Chains A and B, each alone.
Chain A
Amino acid sequence: MWEYTDKVKDHFLNPRNVGEIEDADGAGEVGSLACGDALRLTFKLDEKKRIKDAKFKTFGCASAIASSSALTEIIKGMTLDEATKVTNQDIANYLGGLPEEKMHCSVMGREALETAIAHYRGQKVVKEDFEVVCKCFGVTDREIIKAIRENDLKTVEQVTYYTKAGGGCAKCHPKIEALIEQTRKEMEKEKPPAKPERKKLTNIQKIKLVEETLGREIIPALKADGGDLELIDIEGNRVLVALRGKCSFCPSSEVTLKQYVESKLREFVSDDIEVEEVRA
């Protein structure tokens, strides 16, 4: 028996938003009877282009029904741009997790959403543009790569759990292995170079380092624009500063503090630095 969370059980036994919106703005269907699960998603937008209503019809197991129900709850109230950012992990997290073997149910939810949004925008998700890697379940290289990236997958077995690819005759396993290797290499390259491990600083070291960094990296740059900054205090990881000169009445000083001062201090001192402005 599968270990489903109470949330999965709840959304299976009491699914939210079952049905089809007749005059839907967006509609997407993924899966098939042959594959053992399928999801038909419809949504309606309000005048502000937010998802006002979303409904689903699903053929599949308990986790497929629960994932569909969760998806509709998640996207209601979202703009389409927000909805495009919903990942299968969001769906799984909403349900308090899914058994790994069942993660493909959450991926099916994300794909239905993607298809429905593309339908609304008049785009077509053309399968022909991509190579069908798994012929048993009709899974393309694009879908497999996306799953590897979004879920940090490492093995063929995991790819099967998340996309179903490779779950039939197994002939595509070498191809999936190659995709994993290639994609993980790309992911590795895209990763920012790992910073050398930092030693934990004592308070005194931290204060010194903050002062040095301010003096060397930050204050000269601010002064160049007619501004200035004064260190008031350091409490743990909180660096309290007061803005001076032009900075004190600059409308973008908040941005300067967070995106410039804080990020510089994080780079040179410690990852957990929070910069706060005090009026003094």
Chain B
Amino acid sequence: MRVVYVDNNATTKVAPEVLEVMMPYFSDYYGNPSSMHFFGGQVQRKVNEAREKVADLLGADASEIVFTSCGTESDNAAILGTVDSYPEKRHFVTSRVEHPAVGNVATYLTRKGYKVNELSVDREGQLDLDELKEALTDQTAVVSIMYANNETGVIFPVEKIGEIVKSKGIPFHTDAVQTAGKIPLNMKKSTVDMLSISGHKLHAPKGIGVLYIRKGTKFSPFLIGGHQEKGRRGGTENVPYIVALGKACELARKNMNDENMRVKALRDYLEQRILEKIPNTLVNGDRSNRLPNTLNVSFEYVEGESILLLLSDLGICASSGSACTSGSLEPSHVLRAMGVPFTAAHGSIRFSLSIYNTKEEMDYIIENLPPIIQRLRDISPFWKDYLKSQGKK
């Protein structure tokens, strides 16, 4: 069956170049980087090279890069590691639209007796910076606010947020899992103290992440063990995946322009044609501050899981913020926080593109989507009611 993969915010294909460079580190160069012999030493050099490449993508110093197992670990380590460094401070500030890797840490801290502020977002998915200012106190241990939203692609004004947070002397973490490789980052000129990225969102394998920790940031290790990662994260280095991530970051830097020009153009084309061809469709999220690859659209009066399965039947892989797909009974917390009406929230679909997508694939989606929506609307009791209310037959 033909596969049109437009679910790249969920995970991405490992780039062939990445796969090629990582393979020898399984069974040819399998030494432990910590070993004293040449066999480990040659691997250590490769790990350092990879660390440099990751640092280059982030505009950071290699010593500020800590390899972890995934984005979730990076988020957990940043928040819990900082909270641990300031045991007297019992306040945490985040947003209502975070990934569960941050959102559920907030729940955990609440249970532990912390005061937690979850900042609201407006209909466009944007924060109110005044609310942030008011939330901060001298008790705030750390602020964690995502760089770009995984569901809508909405980009937060992270540098402005950082300015406000830093002006109070509070450490600032951002989950940039969806951002790295899609928009340029420069930690040298940034107000961010800690930043999480995940390998498999930028064409490296699943199972590797990074936590950037600015020099001088107070931090207690989350995984306690050996001296690896300068004592900031115990555990023998996952060498093949670290090498892979280094290569993926190098490619991401090279492809950044393509991502922002060609991929964005494809996304815009898809968005425009969908809006033209399908009535009662709306785009979720601030369109002027959005990742170049992400499109979140709602089709009124139909349900997301049904759309996804009919798309899937044609080989089109997307995702949805509907209740039924999440395994919960309520639609996505992000869309609810934005106040997307129920008529639309249950019928939201996210298309997230990558550099591997083509215009021909967009045309395939555009050709097949309208009949799918029409078919489900014909089954939906509310569509007929809506047409009646509009005086149409």
Which residues of A pack against B, CB within 8 Å? 12-13, 15, 18, 20, 29, 33-34, 36-40, 57-65, 101-102, 104, 136-137, 160, 164, 167-168
Contact = CB atoms under 8 A, between A and B. Distances in A.
Contact of B329 (A38, A57, A58, A137): A137
Given A59-B380, A59-B382, A168 B303 contact: no
B342 A34 contact: yes
Nearest to B312: A1
12 contacts: A15-B379, A33-B343, A33-B346, A33-B382, A57-B384, A58-B379, A59-B382, A63-B324, A102-B324, A136-B330, A164-B329, A167-B329
Contacts, number: 76
Contacts of B328: 167
B301 interface: yes
B358 to A, nearest CB: 25
B28 interface: no
B321 to A, nearest CB: 11
A136 B336 CA distance: 13
B303 A12 contact: no
B349 to A, nearest CB: 13
Contacts of B323: 36
B313 A36 contact: no
B330 A59 contact: no
A36 B329 contact: yes
A145 to B, nearest CB: 20
Contacts of B322: 36, 61
B303 A36 contact: yes
Contacts of B325: 61
A36 B304 CA distance: 10
B309 A168 contact: no
Nearest to B302: A59
B52 interface: no
A6 B330 CA distance: 26
Nearest to A161: B329
Interface in B295-335: 301-306, 309-310, 313, 322-325, 327-331
B345 to A, nearest CB: 9
Nearest to B300: A33
Contacts of A160: 329
B313 A13 contact: yes
Nearest to B309: A62
Interface in B341-393: 342-343, 346, 378-382, 384
B5 to A, nearest CB: 15
A18 B303 contact: no
A248 to B, nearest CB: 61
Nearest to A68: B379
Contacts of A164: 329
Contacts of B382: 33, 38, 59
B313 A18 contact: no
Given A34-B342, A61-B324, A18 B378 contact: yes
Contacts of A40: 381
Interface string B280-299: 00000000000000000000
Contacts of A137: 329
B309 A12 contact: yes
A62 B312 CA distance: 12
B303 A59 contact: yes
B373 to A, nearest CB: 13
Nearest to A9: B309
